[in-house]
A and B are shown apart, each in its own frame.
Chain A
Amino acid sequence: MTNDLTRLSASDLASALAAEEVSSVEATQAHLDRITAVDGDVHAFLHVASEEALETAARVDARRAAGEEVHPLAGVPIAVKDVVVTKGLPTTAGSKILENWVPPYDATLVERIKAAGLPILGKTNMDEFAMGSSTEHSAFGNTKNPWDLERIPGGSGGGSAAAVAAFEAPLAIGTDTGGSIRQPGAVTGTVGVKPTYGGVSRYGLIAMASSLDQAGPVTRTVLDAALLHELIGGHDPHDSTSIDEPVPGVVEAARQGASGDLAGLRVGVVKELSGEGYQAGVSARFDESLEQLRALGAEVVEVSCPSFAYALDAYYLIMPAEASSNLAKFDGMRFGLRVEPAEGPVTAERVMSATRGAGFGDEVKRRVILGTYALSAGYYDAYYGSAQKVRTLIQRDFAAAFAKADVLVSPTAPTTAFKFGEKLDDPLAMYLNDIATIPANLAGVPGMSVPNGLSDDGLPVGFQILAPAKADDRMYRVGAALEAALESRWGGPLLSQAPDLKTTELAR
């Protein structure tokens, strides 16, 4: 075991804590020190909650010392994406309109994290209201990719992915509306899971598109993702779309998968999610991973999902339409920013317009206006209604594909991390990042990204695994098997190949 506590997986750290080889205060302090040392460059965090985290850690240590039964992850620190409300900790969703807002309640998943005794290190950066694929739309500056500080960490959950990749936290929470957990995972060499829609409560998530949003784990290993998934998942009466069934056996599946036997498993390669537009190194790693899965006993078949060609178009109708409705609550009346118009009468309506004009960034304005347009009189059926029909077609494609295969696979993102600014002025190019991840959100099926190597440019590539709704365990089995096989070939985790970050001396 390494003596650097920040290098441990959550699972190994949990074992060390349970064996009382280390204390949670030591582990939490080690991560806070790491944040101090590298986050000036990485900027994964918008707020660091040192005091609260150490208090939680001390409480867990005391409970363990007193012989109390605690949750297996008790004392393992975690970072939470800033779109998830946390009582007593500022929650901005990356927007000026919520700058300095402190929520009066906890999201259900945060309640579960707190009840299990995981110290919350802080809140992670993101594209404003989770709208983006690079964190360049955060009102509070970009998060940098720990593999190359001139490149994007993915988005919207770039902060959570970068925090985990830079060893600032072993666990983080992300949210995924069109790929915001999986694409950052791919470009930072980390694991990201979007559970089945309804698998994790959305209560307390600042909603972007309610029929697509889903929270999930951001970690460095598949087993860690499963452990966190099990903790935050399960039915919540506060979310009427939450699935009222037990969480699938994801931890057991991850452990079983790590043993490396995939005999009898059918892996479907989605024909439409490869080829043109995919970087050569991304395609090469993908093909090698398929070979690897074959070597573990899986049968690889090709499946076709023709309607996926329309997924991006449908998504960029449904998402803004729902976002424009969800963001109507930012009216300058009850919370957040209030701006009065520079001249003329100060009425509620004019205050609302002035507040939103000043408080929303470019991408949020773009999407809210597009969504308002799509929902306005005369366009509803042609736009939103048609997009919902495409959703049906995509679900049918998935149903047909899952009749031939147990899981479906593709590269997670078509390219590795691009440089800041490269796609900022071209919304469509930015949106193409999500081409492989969006179908899962439209159909509600679970998806995972697992690191599967470096591209020709030396940057990480992700392998996406999709499973049928409520069969999240399948992707954990496949993901853990692939991870174990690749790591034994690499001689360690992919992240051990990442360049060392410059550290700032601690003044302690």
Chain B
Amino acid sequence: MSTISRDEVARVAALARIDLRPDEVDRLAGELDVIVESIARVSEVATPDVPATSHPLPLTNVFRDDVPEPALPVQDVLAGAPQQEDGRFAVPQILGEE
């Protein structure tokens, strides 16, 4: 079972969109290793004949009538935004290209 190297931590942190300082990458590489090893034990008993359970209680799809419900007032929602403009969320440029 592969374990998590420093490079791997940096790669996964980028996927998770979390900026890590170099010392954080070092520490996490050591700590995550232990957990990944413990998790390898799971595969000992998770044999192909065992079905997976995704949810504690069996539920089929839950539907409601297709009737509009009132939404939250726009100003209430925007009140918690880091930045707003003209009744909308103001966000940084989405695409990286200049």
A contact set with B: CB distance below 8 Å: 101-105, 196-198, 211-212, 237, 240-241, 243, 307, 310, 312-314, 316-317, 324, 328, 331-338, 340-341, 345-354, 356-358, 360, 362, 365-366, 368-370, 372-374, 376, 382-383, 385-393, 395, 427-428, 441-445, 469
Interface residues on B, range: 35 or more
- Which residues from A are CB-within-8-Å of B47? 389
* Contact yes or no, A348 B92, CB < 8 A: yes
Which DSSP category, helix, strand, loop or mixed, fits chain B's interface? loop
* Contact yes or no, A385 B18, CB < 8 A: no
* Contact yes or no, B83 A338, CB < 8 A: yes
* Contact yes or no, A388 B53, CB < 8 A: yes
Q: Hey, what's the 0/1 contact readout for B37-69 against A, CB within 8 Å counting as 1? A: 011011111110011111111010010100000
* Contact yes or no, B80 A335, CB < 8 A: yes
Say if the beta carbon of B85 comes within 8 Å of chain A.
no
- Which residues from A are CB-within-8-Å of B14? 353
- Which residues from A are CB-within-8-Å of B94? 347-348
Q: How far does the alpha carbon of A20 sit from the alpha carbon of B33 in the complex, in Å?
A: 60
Q: How far does the alpha carbon of A389 sit from the alpha carbon of B47 in the complex, in Å?
A: 8
- Which residues from A are CB-within-8-Å of B55? 211, 241, 444
Partner of B32, one of A105, A211, A240, A370: A370
Say if the beta carbon of B22 comes within 8 Å of chain A.
no
Given contacts A389-B51, A390-B46, A427-B34, contact A360 B18 (CB under 8 A): yes
Partner of B64, one of A237, A241, A312: A237
* Contact yes or no, A357 B18, CB < 8 A: yes
- 6 A-B contact pairs sorted by A residue (CB < 8 Å): A241-B62, A332-B82, A357-B21, A362-B24, A365-B24, A368-B16
* Contact yes or no, A385 B46, CB < 8 A: yes
- Which residues from A are CB-within-8-Å of B12? 369, 372-373, 376
* Contact yes or no, A310 B35, CB < 8 A: no
- Which residues from A are CB-within-8-Å of B39? 313, 316-317, 374, 383, 387
- Min CB gap A349→B, angstroms: 7
- Which residues from B are CB-within-8-Å of A469? 56-57
**Chain A residue at minimal CB-CB distance from B91:** A333
- Min CB gap A110→B, angstroms: 15
* Contact yes or no, B35 A427, CB < 8 A: yes
* Contact yes or no, B31 A386, CB < 8 A: no
Q: How far does the alpha carbon of A351 sit from the alpha carbon of B73 in the complex, in Å?
A: 27
Q: How far does the alpha carbon of A389 sit from the alpha carbon of B54 in the complex, in Å?
A: 9
- Which residues from B are CB-within-8-Å of A337? 82
Say if the beta carbon of B76 comes within 8 Å of chain A.
yes
**Residue among B27, B44, B59, B91 having the largest count of chain A Cβ atoms under 10 Å:** B91
- Which residues from A are CB-within-8-Å of B98? 345
Which DSSP category, helix, strand, loop or mixed, fits chain A's interface? helix
Q: How far does the alpha carbon of A217 sit from the alpha carbon of B50 in the complex, in Å?
A: 35
Further pairs besides A336-B82, A442-B56: 14, Cβ < 8 Å: A316-B38, A333-B81, A333-B91, A335-B81, A345-B96, A353-B18, A365-B18, A365-B24, A369-B9, A373-B4, A376-B12, A390-B46, A391-B52, A427-B34
Kindly list the 5 A-B residue pairs having the minimum CB-CB distance in the complex, ordered from nearest.
Answer: A444-B56, A357-B19, A338-B82, A386-B46, A388-B52
- Which residues from B are CB-within-8-Å of A387? 39, 42, 46
- Which residues from A are CB-within-8-Å of B9? 369
**Residue among A324, A337, A348 having the largest count of chain B Cβ atoms under 10 Å:** A348
**Chain B residue at minimal CB-CB distance from A425:** B31
Q: How far does the alpha carbon of A349 sit from the alpha carbon of B15 in the complex, in Å?
A: 11
- Min CB gap B30→A, angstroms: 10
* Contact yes or no, A307 B45, CB < 8 A: yes
Partner of A347, one of B16, B19, B38, B96: B96
- Which residues from B are CB-within-8-Å of A243? 57
Given contacts A389-B46, A393-B45, contact A353 B56 (CB under 8 A): no
Given contacts A352-B17, A360-B18, contact A102 B42 (CB under 8 A): no
